[in-house]
């Protein structure tokens, strides 16, 4: 540790306070989405805006810039590589902040807020034309932002690539197109195969879906799941919210939320698995003695890696056959005895109910087969809107056409088409691909995990989920931002990220799911 | 409204931001006491300290002092009296802030934090001697604080009086002694009367106390109570916490908490009534269009008045005979049918269970008869410690002697004696009398209320609690800090505050409770 008065220590104190402010915002966000009464929204908005202003000020002030420069000047040949990396990441973020015209920052904040409000209304009324001008304005402002940010980029990047950097550092369009091409080529065929043989299993799945699990039972099963996966109530808290999420309120304070969805009896359970995966990653990030907490190295490296961790626990574990076999008796026991106690007709039926494979219109309800196609569609449309001058007015028709091409279905309304997601309504471009990258990263890491500790299915079957966690805790979580997402995969698997492990995994799963039991 | 650039408007904006920060602290406090996992405490402490520092800075900065002075300079003969009053209150608070040596503020904060920790441990081990040095230090620092604050007081005040000002503006020792003398004189006799005739009713009360109400039923009855008292879920939220409290998170965001206490089946219900009374007062404070929210006039005028509002709903309403008769069937219905469905043996027994009249050692568990005696004891001991050089070492013996004199019982340990309350452990002197004033104010306001709208019991019996609320909403809540507690009573009842209405109320209640049904 450097001397007490050093620039590095001063910078640490500055970052520590900035992180305190950020985590206060997270606490307010958590409260807002779990218990805040509706009428509290306006005041809460003012509280959050005040904190955001303070945070922005701290992250772009001359004082802060001088602290970073002084800490850089202190770096000598003996400086630990972690410190060098931390300062590099801070410098990049600082340069980005300094490129931005404050007038644009403010205009964007207003447009995002307006975009959200207009979208809520337009979606409710299925009126894309009401939303189009707000979207048009957001696109124009984000393009402007990308052009201002271009000066800070260490390499030449297109506007979309620049906007995607905060979510997926160093991502490029070419690389995404390369990764997504096999998905576009092979997933539709897999979906078709399921559709052909799926008719036989439809009844079992539908019956399993009709099973109504009492709310208290769903809550209890979620609690049992978390207990068996190392949930520690002295550091974690689970609440209810309208949409499930996970957030970190402090170095020892982790929250997740779930919801019970009427008519979707397994939704809360799978969402719990998903959000807990996010939380485990956050809990495992490098922060020995909380030292790294305010530093970049203590942060998640990308949204793709974050998503790989939630998808691992949701799809590779909770939707797996071995897991279905272990948990089927618990679900049935909760339903008592008698004919209603096993609406799935056995463990295999329960596994099928955990894995409905049917293309649908809504991304957030999509299964493992079609999910990435929803992402490819959005990625390509974002490029068209931001970089290829596609008129905003063409969006509904383009959306529907691509849904037909990729998934073989078409929405009847824009509300269940191009108005379904909140992202664009808040000017969030460049985010969607991370969801698909999460699937690919999870699959490729799983292969390496199996090489090193044996079959995931075997470990689940023998009741050792802690072995899976231990591997992730040792290999993945402590990396923080020392590597980006692609580097993380290369380092842990010995080869570049590819879509092949994911496709192989899906082919095997489809095969097993569609045979007669 | 003054012109946009006026000092008054600038001051309003300054206060608005200060209030935003304060309400963020309240939100963190609420989270901490309802859902935060234990390990989050250290980081939460840092968050709260950061906000407290910002708030203190805003309330004592030269910029703020100049804004207040400029707004005062703008006052002319036509200025509305509300504005004049707001500025007077701000000026007084500012002068107090400016009298304080920052080194003392910091020393006090540390001593309070240390005091709390030492007290927790000393109470757990029943070791007053371990706590004495911390208490001695807190007394010394608070005396020093009082001597610094003396310069800002508009009239000559004793050290104890100066420390009590934030809780009970303009309070004096002489006035409290005058108000408390009849309580000291008459309450012990009333207690003795209950003890004589009480033996007959002991069985019914004890049986009612033994009644175990299932947790879900207690929750449901609390919800029904709040519904019948105007609880609006779009502005309010009820949660669980270790100790019940009420707090305001924004001009349209009110929270209360309760807890289910094993072995005390009516505790959650009565605590809900109490906390809701606090919340109703906060909800009714003057803030048309939120304009007053950041101003002194939009605040509670004293802790005594605040407590009068919670005690009104708890004691005058929920512990009343008419209320017991209306709610007894609901409590029984929740217990199903059969012999266990009425453990109170009728509405009269239920009313008695709501009013256990027996002196006990613990203030927070005390009944209406003995509560104020607990306060008198603490008030006199505070004076002895702060102004009469009573050695800290004498506290346990003095405490026990006074308990014997006032309540006729003596604690066997200091943990249930002078170590029971947290107040002194945090250097909080001058606060206790407000609890007793709350009882007196509630009783005196109730008399005026009855003169104007008729019998409280009658309105409860005929299912019109909203008439009680309407009176308070019209007469009490909108006064904010336009008057202090005594002025409020004088204004609404036409005579000075006295203990007589409270004693009269208790005598009648004791009479009714101790007759054979």
**Which segment of A51-60, A202-211, B403-412 scores lowest on mean pLDDT?**
A202-211
Residue A17 at interface with chain B, using a CB cutoff of 8 Å: yes
Of B24, B34, B249, Cβ closest to residue A24: B24
Of B53, B79, B105, the last residue of a domain is B79
Query: pLDDT at residue A115 above 80?
Result: yes
Q: Do B318 and B285 contact (CB within 8 A), yes or no?
A: no
Average pLDDT over residues A470-484: 96
Structure tokens that stand for A193 in this block? 């195969």
Residue A155 at interface with chain B, using a CB cutoff of 8 Å: no
Give the pLDDT of residue A1.
55
Q: In which band, very low, low, confident or very high, does the pLDDT at A265 lie, cut at 50, 70 and 90?
A: very high
Residue B254 at interface with chain A, using a CB cutoff of 8 Å: yes
Rounded alpha-carbon distances, angstroms, from residue A152 to A38, A155, A162 = 41, 9, 10
In a domain, residue B154? The reply is: no
Alpha-carbon distance of A130 to A123, in angstroms, equals: 9
Cβ neighbour number for residue B1 with a 10 Å cutoff = 8
Q: Do A66 and A36 contact (CB within 8 A), yes or no?
A: no
Regarding an ipTM greater than 0.95, the answer is: no
**Packed helices A173-210 and A433-453: angle between N→C axes, nearest 10 degrees:** 80
- Answer with the residue of higher pLDDT: B456 or A53: B456
Alpha-carbon distance of A293 to A291, in angstroms, equals: 6
Write the pLDDT tens digit of every residue in A131-180: 999 999 999 999 999 999 999 999 999 999 999 999 999 999 999 999 99
Give the pLDDT of residue A279.
98
Query: pLDDT at residue A461 above 70?
Result: yes
- Answer with the residue of higher pLDDT: B340 or B442: B442
Q: Nearest 5°: phi and psi at A29?
A: -65, -45
Q: Do A422 and A112 contact (CB within 8 A), yes or no?
A: no
B196-205: string of b/e by CB count within 10 Å (b at 16+)?
eebeebeebb
Write the pLDDT tens digit of every residue in A387-432: 999 999 999 999 999 999 999 999 999 999 999 999 999 999 999 9
Q: Nearest 5°: phi and psi at A115?
A: -55, -45
Alpha-carbon distance of A94 to A59, in angstroms, equals: 7
Same domain, B228 and B363: yes
Nearest in space to A228 (alpha carbons), one of A276, A191, A178, A189: A276
Query: pLDDT at residue B207 above 80?
Result: no
Nearest in space to A417 (alpha carbons), one of A437, A432, A397: A397
Q: What are the chain A neighbours of B17 within 8 Å (beta carbons)? A: 50
Write the pLDDT tens digit of every residue in B299-336: 999 999 999 999 999 999 999 999 999 999 999 999 98
Give the pLDDT of residue A197.
74
Per annotation, catalytic residue among B161, B219, B275, B382: B275
Q: In which band, very low, low, confident or very high, does the pLDDT at B338 lie, cut at 50, 70 and 90?
A: confident
DSSP A251: T
Query: pLDDT at residue A246 above 90?
Result: yes
Nearest in space to A70 (alpha carbons), one of A12, A15, A7, A3: A7
In a domain, residue B325? The reply is: yes
Q: Do A20 and B50 touch (CB under 8 A)?
A: yes
Of B21, B44, B79, the last residue of a domain is B79
Give the pLDDT of residue A206.
54
For residue B471, the distance in angstroms to the closest alpha carbon of chain A comes to 25
Cβ neighbour number for residue B498 with a 10 Å cutoff = 16
Give the pLDDT of residue A336.
85
Q: What are the chain B neighbours of A254 within 8 Å (beta carbons)? A: 37
Give the pLDDT of residue A340.
79
In a domain, residue B465? The reply is: yes
Strands A253-258 and A236-240: parallel
Query: pLDDT at residue B20 above 90?
Result: yes
Q: In which band, very low, low, confident or very high, does the pLDDT at A293 lie, cut at 50, 70 and 90?
A: confident
Q: What are the chain A neighbours of B13 within 8 Å (beta carbons)? A: none
In a domain, residue B145? The reply is: no
For residue B88, the distance in angstroms to the closest alpha carbon of chain A comes to 27
- Answer with the residue of higher pLDDT: B106 or B350: B350
Domain tally, chain A: 2
Q: In which band, very low, low, confident or very high, does the pLDDT at B208 lie, cut at 50, 70 and 90?
A: low
Q: Nearest 5°: phi and psi at B347?
A: -65, -35
Write the pLDDT tens digit of every residue in B241-277: 989 999 999 999 999 999 999 989 999 999 999 999 9
Alpha-carbon distance of B495 to B499, in angstroms, equals: 12
DSSP A454: -
Give the pLDDT of residue B341.
86
* % of residues, chain B, pLDDT over 90: 85
Sheet holding A246-250, edge to edge: A236-240, A253-258, A246-250
Average pLDDT score, chain A: 93
Q: Is residue B450 flagged as an active site residue?
A: no
Nearest in space to A305 (alpha carbons), one of A82, A92, A488: A488
Query: pLDDT at residue B288 above 70?
Result: no
Give the pLDDT of residue B209.
57
DSSP A338: S
Give the pLDDT of residue A85.
93
Q: Do A43 and B233 touch (CB under 8 A)?
A: no
Length of chain B: 517
Q: Do B361 and B417 contact (CB within 8 A), yes or no?
A: yes
DSSP E strands in A137-293: the ranges are 236-240, 246-250, 253-258
In a domain, residue A487? The reply is: yes
**Which segment of B168-172, B390-394, B416-420, B511-515 scores lowest on mean pLDDT?**
B511-515
Query: pLDDT at residue A129 above 60?
Result: yes
Q: What are the chain B neighbours of A46 within 8 Å (beta carbons)? A: 20
**Packed helices A102-125 and A128-149: angle between N→C axes, nearest 10 degrees:** 160
Mutation choice for B interface testing from A23, A31, A50, A234 by most B CBs within 10 A: A31
Of A47, A79, A111, the last residue of a domain is A79
In a domain, residue B140? The reply is: no
Q: In which band, very low, low, confident or very high, does the pLDDT at A371 lie, cut at 50, 70 and 90?
A: very high
The continuous run of DSSP H or E covering B8 comes out as: helix B7-34
As annotated, the active-site residues of A are 275
Average pLDDT over residues A448-467: 97
In a domain, residue A158? The reply is: no
Domain span holding position B193:
173-514
Average pLDDT score, chain B: 93
For residue A25, the distance in angstroms to the closest alpha carbon of chain B comes to 9
Average pLDDT over residues A447-458: 98
Q: Do B253 and A36 touch (CB under 8 A)?
A: yes
Give the pLDDT of residue B5.
79
pTM of the model: 0.93
Strands A253-258 and A246-250: antiparallel
Q: Do B27 and A27 touch (CB under 8 A)?
A: yes
Give the pLDDT of residue B198.
61
B453: domain CATH number is 1.10.1370.30
DSSP A27: H
Which residues does B325 contact at the CB level (< 8 Å), separation at least 6?
Answer: B347, B351, B461
In a domain, residue A279? The reply is: yes
């Amino acid at each position: 540790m450097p001397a007490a008065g050093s620039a590095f220590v001063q910078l640490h104190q500055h970052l520590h306070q900035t992180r305190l402010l950020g985590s206060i915002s997270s606490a307010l966000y958590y409260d807002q989405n779990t218990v805040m009464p509706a009428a509290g929204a306006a005041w809460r908005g003012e509280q959050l805006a005040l904190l955001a202003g303070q945070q922005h000020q701290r992250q772009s002030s001359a004082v802060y810039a001088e602290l970073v420069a002084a800490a850089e000047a202190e770096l000598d040949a003996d400086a630990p590589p972690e410190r060098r990396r931390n300062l590099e990441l801070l410098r990049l973020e600082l340069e980005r902040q300094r490129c931005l015209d404050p007038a644009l920052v403010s205009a964007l904040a207003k447009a995002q807020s307006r975009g959200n409000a207009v979208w809520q209304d337009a979606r409710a009324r299925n009126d894309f034309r009401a939303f189009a001008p707000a979207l048009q304005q957001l696109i124009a402002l984000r393009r402007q932002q990308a052009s201002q940010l271009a000066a800070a980029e260490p390499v030449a990047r297109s506007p979309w690539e620049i906007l995607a950097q905060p979510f997926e550092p160093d991502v490029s369009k070419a690389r995404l197109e390369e990764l997504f091409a096999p998905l576009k080529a092979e997933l539709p065929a897999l979906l078709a195969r399921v559709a052909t043989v799926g008719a036989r299993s439809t009844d079992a799945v539908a019956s399993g879906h009709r099973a109504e699990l009492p709310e208290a039972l769903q809550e209890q099963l979620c609690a049992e799941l978390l207990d068996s996966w190392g949930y520690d109530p002295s550091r974690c808290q689970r609440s209810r919210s309208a949409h499930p999420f996970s957030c970190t309120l402090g170095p020892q304070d982790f929250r997740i939320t779930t919801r019970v969805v009427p008519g979707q009896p397994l939704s809360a359970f799978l969402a719990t698995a998903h959000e807990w995966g996010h939380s485990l990653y956050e809990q495992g990030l490098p922060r020995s003695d909380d030292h790294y907490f305010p530093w970049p190295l203590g942060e998640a490296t990308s949204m793709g890696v974050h998503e790989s961790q939630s998808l691992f626990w949701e799809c590779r574990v909770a939707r797996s056959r071995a897991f279905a076999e272990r948990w089927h008796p618990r679900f049935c026991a909760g339903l008592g005895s008698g004919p209603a106690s096993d609406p799935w007709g056995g463990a295999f039926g329960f596994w099928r109910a955990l894995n409905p494979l049917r293309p649908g219109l809504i991304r957030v309800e999509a299964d493992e087969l079609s999910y990435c196609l929803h992402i490819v569609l959005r990625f390509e449309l974002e490029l068209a809107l931001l970089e290829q001058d596609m008129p905003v007015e063409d969006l509904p028709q383009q959306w529907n056409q691509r849904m037909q091409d990729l998934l073989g279905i078409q929405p009847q309304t824009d509300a269940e088409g191009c108005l379904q997601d909140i992202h664009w309504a808040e000017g969030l471009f460049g985010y969607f691909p991370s969801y698909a990258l999460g699937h690919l990263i999870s699959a490729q890491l799983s292969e390496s995990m199996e090489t090193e500790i044996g079959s995931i299915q075997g470990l689940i079957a023998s009741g050792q989920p802690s072995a899976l966690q231990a591997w992730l805790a040792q290999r993945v979580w402590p990396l923080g931002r020392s590597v980006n997402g692609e580097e993380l995969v290369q380092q842990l698997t010995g080869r570049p990220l590819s879509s092949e492990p994911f496709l192989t995994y899906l082919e095997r799963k489809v095969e097993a799911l569609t045979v007669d039991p």
